[in-house]
Structure 1
Amino acid sequence: MVSFGGIARKFFGSSNDRQVKGYSAQVPAINALEEEMAALTDEALAARTAEFRRELADGKSTDDLLVPAFAVVREASKRVIGLRPFDVQLIGGMILNDNAIAEMKTGEGKTLVATLPVYLNALAGKGVHVVTVNDYLASRDAEWMGRIYRFLGMSVGVIAHGMDDDARRAAYACDITYGTNNELGFDYLRDNMKYERGQMVQRGHAYAIVDEVDSILVDEARTPLIISGPLDDRSDLYKSIDTYILQLSDEDYEVDEKERTANFTEDGTEKLEQMLAADDMLRGESLYDIENVGIVHHVNNALKAHKLFTRDKDYIVRNDEIVIIDEFTGRMMPGRRYSEGQHQALEAKEHVTIQPENQTLASITFQNYFRMYDKLAGMTGTATTEAEEFGNIYGLSVVEVPTNLPIARDDQHDEVYRTNEEKYAAIVKDIEEAQGRGQPVLVGTTSIEKSEVLAEVLKKANVKDFQVLNARYHEQEAYIVAQAGVPGAVTIATNMAGRGTDIQLGGNPDMRFEREIDAAVEGEERQAREAAIREEIARLKEEAKAAGGLYVLATERHESRRIDNQLRGRSGRQGDPGRSKFFLSLQDDLMRIFGSDRMDGMLQKLGLEEGEAIVHPWINKAVERAQKKVEGRNFDIRKNLLKYDDVMNDQRKVVFDQRLELMDAEDISETIADMRSEVIDAMVARHIPENAYAEQWNAEGLREDAQTHLNLDLPIQDWIEEEGIAEDDIHERITAAADKAATERAERIGPEVLPYVEKSIVMQTLDSLWREHLVNLDHLRSVIGFRGYGQRDPLQEYKAEAFELFQSLLVNLRQNVTAQLMRVELVQEQPEPDLIQPQQMEAHHADPLTGEDEFADGETLTRPMANPAMANPAMAPEARDAANPESWGKVGRNELCPCGSGKKFKHCHGAYV
């Protein structure tokens, strides 16, 4: 039975067809300008850029200039790099200009397509970012396509790993900037840790085109970018908490070894609360009050360390350190550490030296980074299967661009074998047959390990001349992948290896010129050698076509259909012949998902013999259904992670926007006065309850708070004893005393220095509290899932408590800034600049496929300070001054506070810093 939708598509075309038709309507207008552009001199063609910019300044929009701008870029491309964009490439460019994703098959020239909208949007002068998956592609594309932009009078920059801030700033200042997603994201995070606008490297987020958009915005988006640094020494905290666990009995906790969980019972929670309260480590009445989220995290870690981790099974103690043992291989993993304080809990348990825990200083997901762009677009060969995710998360539609020539590839049905051994035997046989007739073969694997396993199998079978790639050495691999179309070549690659490089039958001439002809060779000699290489490639191409074109042989189905389609799409570029086939076994990861045990039994009953394959369209459909299930589950996981990150992202925006306002403000004295006023409001409200009698007012508490937060010793008790005194009178007297003290201090410091001192203290305090807040959010996130057992929505609970923690951050910010500024004094002796060590930071981004940290080799980032001599303006050279917290140095949490209040530091000034 034919559906109504099917009939409608037959007569009116699909939604995608109608969109493409709409874009196609502008193609004749661009083509009509071709002769006019061809008649212009190089100078006149380049001068059109200045004309377009004038028109934009006069009120025209970029869409108004699309037709003539595309015509200019097409002509420049012909003259500079010898490539003329096809009509379908013009359509791709329009899609990219329209906040959408252009899905274009491999070999359709996506790199060239991007030049059209990049040029058009760069005319506004706000900067365009072209994002690639690795440094090699960023450098290659910036050089290759940069020739077109420079010809038209535009500047081009590239961001690469290892560049210093000055070089980065210059690259971002260009009209067009190429870079990887990691570098752009880390630059954004680092910029929001700077103290002056002039130190920042990025200048905004106007327009970005993301190449291989599915890889960056879906695959890589599973893990956030993180900049971390070491925390202060907290070994006393870990040791104290460890002693509490030793005092618990079996009734105080429950352990589920199967699920690897350990939880406190009600009795255990009560015991812990009593022990924590006795040591002044409990805030409020309950262990599960929001103020104790960090303590809850650490006591849970300590319980796991004692009850779930077994010495000499999960870890060993060697050379005064804890070494993890891999649960699968039984091998030691030196250098690897458990995160989130778990390793420190084990170190406390075994009484070895406790190493500092790394603290998240800044983090962001790719979803939230790329959603900052005013205009975002992407291009890839495979995006349709993830269209829902692109639409829901990024607001990007996916438009499939027709190929320039019809696809002639033969996509064959999957072959399914019972065991891996049978599958590999069939693969070896197929490769030998293809190599024998001169057909190039690209063998796709799902991981580096499986590439190496297959390579061993081919070696044992004496298969000659094969290459193994695994997406680790991008530049070298790009050359090998580019030559994978040579007759008889066998190239084993993971799905990511050499991505962004076109496989041409016969080989890639440009890469061979680069490898085989010395750069010093010029003139007629160079032309002759290039012509000889082109002639050889043309001959090899005909041989490869006669043998059937590129054969993509996949050794396994990936959990995502999109990645299978990427691999398949390597063959059959620009109308070339080709074929593809997937070899599966019931022992493959994906096949196990939908009951391969039952299928194995069924195939044995049907009499399937060893080495025999089952081939049927139903198998393809069954595998596709399994893939859809996995894709749906992964999407749900990413969507759920994003919901939690959105909570932090809203707070991140507030903090980062506040930092920018502080940087830009010349004078923040009004902000400081507002903070001081709010601190006084809170103090008075806390100790003088509304509608309470004077006898109920807490005079001593108010006096202590005035001493702590305002550095004022005020006769509060005397004031309260005055007849007829009102709450407003107390408030006014405290305010007047604080304003007078602040004015006198400002006069001593001087109007030239004071604005800088105020801004420096506010920004450093904000940064310190934000870092502490990130740690609290991490700890909250790790335990919030337990709320689900109480029939409460963990996400809503997380939102509520994260908001409460953020409100606490703002209160602490006001109190901390006020307390410091009411004590600050300008000290003439400045410390030696080399005594102030910039904070050490590390960048992290886990590879979503392997779990390995892509920056594990140790990218150390040094945080620049605005002015080292002024970074801590009240630093005294000698002993502690009670009135000057900046002179105290490091104070132990349980020491008496140096201010003389008689309280422990953690309950006095230590509560706010």
Structure 2
Amino acid sequence: MFGAVVRKLFGNANDRRIRAYRPRVDQINALEPEIAALSDEALRARTEAFRQELAAGKTLDDILVPAFATVREAAKRTLGQRHFDVQLMGGMVLHEGSIAEMKTGEGKTLVATLPVYLNALSGHGVHVVTVNDYLAKRDSEWMGQIYRFLGLTVGVIVHGLDDEERKLAYGCDVTYGTNNELGFDYLRDNMKYRVEDMVQRGHAYAIVDEVDSILIDEARTPLIISGPLDDRSEFYNTIDAFIPRLDSTDVDLDEKQRTVTMTEAGMEKMERMLREAGQLKTDSLYDVENVSVVHHVNQALRAHKLFQRDKDYIVRNGEVVIIDEFTGRMMPGRRYSDGLHQALEAKERQPIQPENQTLASITFQNYFRMYTKLAGMTGTAQTEADEFLDIYNLEVVEVPTNLPMVRIDDDDEVYRTAAEKYRAIITLIEDCKTRGQPVLVGTTSIEKSEQLADMLREKGWESHDFSDPNAFAALYSGDEGATNAKVFAILNARYHEQEAYIVSQAGVPGAVTIATNMAGRGTDIQLGGNADMRIRQELADVTDEAERHRRIEEIKAQIARLKEKALAAGGLFVLGTERHESRRIDNQLRGRSGRQGDPGHSKFFLSLEDDLMRIFGSDKLDGMLQKLGLREDEAIVHPWINKALEKAQQKVEARNFDIRKNLLKFDNVMNDQRKVIFEQRIDWMRDEVTNEIVTDMRHTVVDDLVAKHVPESAYPEQWDTPGLKEELSRVLGLDLPIEEWAKEEGIADEELLARVTRKADEHMAAKAAQWGPDVMRYVEKSILLQSLDHLWREHLVMLDHLRNVVGLRGYAQRDPLNEYKAEAFALFEAMSQSLREAVTAQLMRVEIVQQQPEEAALPPMEATKLDPLTGENEFATADVGLLLGNRQDTAEAAERDPKNPATWGKVGRNEACPCGSGKKYKHCHGRYA
């Protein structure tokens, strides 16, 4: 009670924070007349003056007011746009490293220019992160006018750039790019062999646009760079030979759950067979060193006991081809992961294809947490505020709208069946069409949007291709007959430029637009249509200035006319066909209506057959509604239902947050190790001389070998001299008279250690004298980096296998996370020891041939980023090599004849089909027979 009174008197924490920005906003406004009087040159000169002030000891906060005032004036002169007071507040939120929640249409793209300019003055570079290449390019060109006017450089990172182009872009004061591109560049940089080949220059400050989409939705799947493993076909065949020797008492098979495990007797038998075959690194099968062997045994067991030939897969032309369990179709080109496909190939005695191994991987959570200062902006973040604070230490600040929000949000309508719901939706769409009110229909999946589109077609509607600007102009020319034509558009979520154009015109009177997810479109729906988009599309080929000017005025007048009509009809009507699992996605859809004080309307239609309703006990509700006499095509509407649904969504959100948080805890273990390895790697690349490092490694290896075979304070006759001699020969390649030294009168373990160390140092000194210092430095650095990379890749595989099996420790009442941490640390220590041995052994044995050594090349790589919704690889296209910095011949696409599939060559499954249908290849000519 008392808290409610205090909030009423003083406002909540968000209100108090917004009020705190008001004095600085007033100061910026007071400077406006003075700065407006400056010439362009004088305004541009302020950039250098600010830099000098920073160099003299001022902080960014000290110059925030004059810097923001400068950007506002530059925006007026270049874009004809003036920052509102609330936009200045949004800029301050972003500068402080928080998330600015600003409603759709409040101009977030323009808001970002304020903190970007201010922070770019420090000279460390600012990254502006967008959700797709189209928005990165568009914003860099659009907002880049302000930065360039003020003397800053602007770069953009998009798909298809080579390393030189990327390095130039990252070297700019302001760099626009997508989350995927930035993450992959970071991973690739840490696989380079020279510091000068790295393209990024650090992670100082980033502003993430559509921050909820990138840091929550996209963050569910990591970025992975993978490459083929070494040929291990013999290992698969060896393991495969053991499985038929297990009988029914050795295996516990559950066909219903599709699981198979070995019984205790089976484990003992397998351990004995593996030990006899020399496949175990230690005596026990379940020691951490043998985790990879256990993994492959389990996969071989699954291949034999769970997968049946001609049911789950077929063997054709020397390949094991998966059969889709739902369609019964063959799926050539697809392979099971984690060595399962190789286990099936070994079972069927087919050629074993190399298994792909993770070369580098990172989650978006851990990538973006590397930035010294991180900020974000979106229209919907408040519902995920706890996750932003917990994972990224980002506070969410709700920035007020420039004009009051007047959109009407109706209570949900709930129907018994989906058929009734869709009938009501179509009735409302047709009603809006009659009144000339634009409609945006939101669906939860592509399938649902196609289903609704088919229903509309049955009612005499047509889907319209908005990519043809002339057809669009003819359709919405202002003529009543044309405007009332029964056509609709579907957002296909593939071609971002066409998609942005469709969204931009969704506010035209009578327009009907069906969309799957409105997050990250980056384009406002303006009532009457978007003049800039139409001018760009329709007048692209008009070169005559007089004609162009005349047409521009025509378009503007037409849009003004159409806007009045849309306003009179009630503004944009947002129609949700289903509630999403997350309230945030529903709010994103709703937020498209009512921009900048425009009128608008929103309503969600639900049925008891919807996923969310079905999961939360709609059976009881259905029975109750029937008893109450709810007739067909009648809906129940009540605020209580909205509250109940919101609570259901909160439960799902909390569950998903817990899943993401738990996954992140495991990933943090690997991330800590990754940071150590990557920092170590960069230090070695930067070091001109690495002989101290390799000398320390050599001395540590010698210390360990001697300590292992010569116990401290033991008598010489107790020393394991044959074992030490053998180990020194294996690791150092030296044949030393250890037995003779041990027989000398009065020799101690310290003296033996000193002699071995001296012999090893003399051997390396002779090599250094023979090769010269330059060659020696090159050889040492190359061996250091290549050995580290090789062992790190093996370590990643071990961690992956460990993570897959450590969950079983929970059955023994042991915390899997703590077990994982302990085992991962032990593996890391073992890897460090292996690195010292590998580097020492190679340097002691290496010989130089008389030719110029070639530079170490990066291994073959494949980029992977799974779409969190579809599970498909976003980079499964023909030109993925460009992302990895490899130029490829792109002329092939131009030479394809749409009518002749023989000219198409290899087509990526997610590419547009070369036949010109507009569908993805996998949904058209690439469909499996």
- The residue aligned with 1:686 is 708
Q: Is contact 2:161–2:885 with CA below 8 Å preserved after alignment? A: no
Could you tell me which residue of structure 1 aligns to residue 83 of structure 2? 85
Q: Distance in 1 between matches of 2:58 and 2:26?
A: 22
SS in structure 2 at match of 1:26:
helix
| Pair 535,544 (structure 1): closer, same or farther in 2 beyond 3 Å | same
Render the CA deviation track for 1:473-519: whole Å, top value 9, x for unaligned.
11110000000000000000111476111000000000011011136
Deviations along 1:216-271, whole A, 9 cap, x unmatched? 00000000000000011111111111111111111112122333322211111111
Match in the other structure for 2:464: none
Q: 2:845 is paired with a residue of what secondary structure?
A: coil
Q: What is the aligned partner in structure 1 of residue 434 from structure 2?
A: 436
In the aligned structure 1, how far is the partner of 2:257 from the partner of 2:220? 24
Contact 2:583 2:649 in 1 (8 A): yes
1:905 corresponding residue in structure 2: none
Q: Is the 8 A contact 2:519 2:585 kept in 1?
A: no
With over 3 angstroms needed to count, the CA separation of the structure-2 counterparts of 1:417 and 1:89, relative to structure 1, is: same
Residue identity in the other structure for 1:513:
I
Tell me the residue number matched to 1:623: 645
Query: Are residues 832 and 42 of structure 1, via their aligned partners in 2, closer, same or farther at CA, if it must alter by over 3 Å?
Result: closer
Which runs of 5 or more residues in structure 2 are unaligned?
A: 462-485, 887-929
The match for 1:876 is none
Residue of structure 2 equivalent to 1:51: 49
SS of residue in 2 equivalent to 1:843: strand
Report the count of equivalent residues.
862
Task: Establish whether residue 143 from structure 1 lines up as the match of residue 177 from structure 2.
Answer: no
Aligned match of 1:642: 664
With the length of structure 1 as denominator, give the TM-score of the two structures.
Answer: 0.93
Paired with 2:171 and 2:544, the residues of 1 have a C-alpha distance of 34
Task: Give the match for residue 789 of structure 1.
Answer: 811
Query: Which whole-Å CA distance do the structure 2 matches of 1:582 and 1:345 have between them?
Result: 49
Residue in 1 that maps onto 2:835:
813
User: Which amino acid in 1 is paired with 2:799?
Assistant: L
- Relative to structure 1, the CA distance from residue 864 to residue 480 in structure 2 (aligned partners, 3 Å threshold; closer, same or farther) is closer
Aligned to 2:898: none
The partner residue of 2:562 within 540, 543, 550 is 540
**Structure 1 stretches lacking a partner, 5+ long:** 867-913
1:848 aligns with 2:868: yes
1:652-801 alignment, distance < 5 Å: 652-801=674-823
Aligned to 2:326, what secondary structure does the other structure show?
coil
Query: Where in structure 2 are the equivalents of 1:2-13 lying within 5 Å?
Result: 3-13=1-11
Aligned counterparts, 1:419-498, within 5 A = 419-463=417-461, 464-496=486-518
State the one-letter code of the partner of 1:134.
Answer: N
Corresponding residue number in structure 1 for 2:68 = 70
Is it true that 1:610 corresponds to 2:632 in the alignment? yes
- The answer as to whether partners of 2:296 and 2:339 remain within 8 angstroms in 1 is yes
SS of residue paired to 1:753: helix
| Residues 360-399 of structure 1 mapped to structure 2, 5 A cutoff | 360-399=358-397
* Conserved? CA contact 2:861–2:884, under 8 Å: no
What is the one-letter code of the residue matched to 2:680?
Q
Aligned residue type for 2:787: T
How far apart are residue 353 of structure 1 and its match?
2.0
What does 1:1-400 correspond to in 2, within 5 Å? 3-400=1-398
Query: How far apart are residue 329 of structure 1 and its match?
Result: 3.2
CA distance in 1, matches of 2:643, 2:283: 59
* AA at the equivalent of 2:871: G
- TM superposition shift of 1:825: 1.8
Deviates more, 1:47-56 or 1:298-307: 298-307
Counterpart amino acid of residue 342 in structure 1: L
- Cα deviation, 1:270-315, whole Å, max 9, x if unaligned, reads 1111111111101111101011010011111111112222333322
Please tell me whether the aligned partners of residues 506 and 537 of structure 1 are also in contact (alpha carbons under 8 angstroms). yes
Kept after mapping to 2: 8 A contact 1:434/1:440: yes
Map Cα deviations across residues 102-157 of structure 1 (whole Å, 9 max, x no partner): 00000000000000000000001110000000000000000000000000000000
For residues 261 and 821 of structure 1, the distance between their equivalents in structure 2, rounded to whole angstroms, comes to: 47
User: Do the aligned residues in 2 keep the contact of 1:324 with 1:334 (CA within 8 Å)?
Assistant: yes
Give the C-alpha shift of residue 323 in structure 1: 2.1
Aligned to 1:872: none
CA RMSD between the two structures: 1.6
Distance 1:774 1:832, change over 3 A: closer
Of 29-38 and 849-858, the range deviating more from structure 2? 849-858
Q: Report the CA distance shift for 1:498/1:781 in structure 2 as closer, same or farther (over 3 A).
A: closer
Q: Which residue of 2 aligns with 1:576?
A: 598
Q: What code does the residue aligned with 2:210 have?
A: E
Please list the CA deviations of residues 41-90 of structure 1 after superposition, one character each: whole Å capped at 9, or x if unmatched.
00000100000000000000111010000000000000100000000000
The secondary structure found in structure 1 opposite 2:543 is coil
> Taking structure 1 as reference, are residues 862 and 612 closer, same or farther at Cα in structure 2, changes over 3 Å only?
closer
**In the aligned structure 2, how far is the partner of 1:815 from the partner of 1:113?**
55
Report if the CA contact (8 A) 1:440-1:485 is conserved.
yes
Maintained 8 Å contact 1:843/1:859? no
What amino acid sits opposite 1:197 in the alignment?
A: V
Cα contact 1:471–1:496 (8 A) shared by 2 = no
Q: Is the 8 A contact 1:194 1:865 kept in 2?
A: no
Amino acid paired to 1:851: G
Is residue 839–residue 862 contact of structure 1 (8 Å, CA) maintained in 2?
A: no
Give me the identity figure in percent.
Answer: 69
**Residue 359 of structure 1 contacts residue 775 of structure 1 at CA under 8 Å; is this kept in 2?**
yes
Q: For 1:642 and 1:801, locate their aligned partners in 2 and report how far apart those are by CA, in whole Å.
A: 17
Deviation at 1:837, TM superposition (A): 7.2
* Cα displacement string for residues 509-565 of structure 1 (whole angstroms, at most 9, x for unaligned residues): 000110111365364443332222111101100101111110111111110000100
* TM-score (norm. length: structure 2): 0.91
Q: Call closer, same or farther: CA 1:522–1:16 in 2, change over 3 Å.
A: farther
Look up the SS of the partner of 1:177 in the other structure. Answer: strand
Supply the AA of the counterpart residue of 2:267.
Answer: T
SS at match of 2:352: coil
Assess if the C-alpha contact under 8 Å between 1:438 and 1:488 holds in 2: yes
Distance 1:318 1:637 in 2: 40
Distance 2:707 2:858 in 1: 40
Q: Give the deviation of 1:13 after TM superposition.
A: 0.4
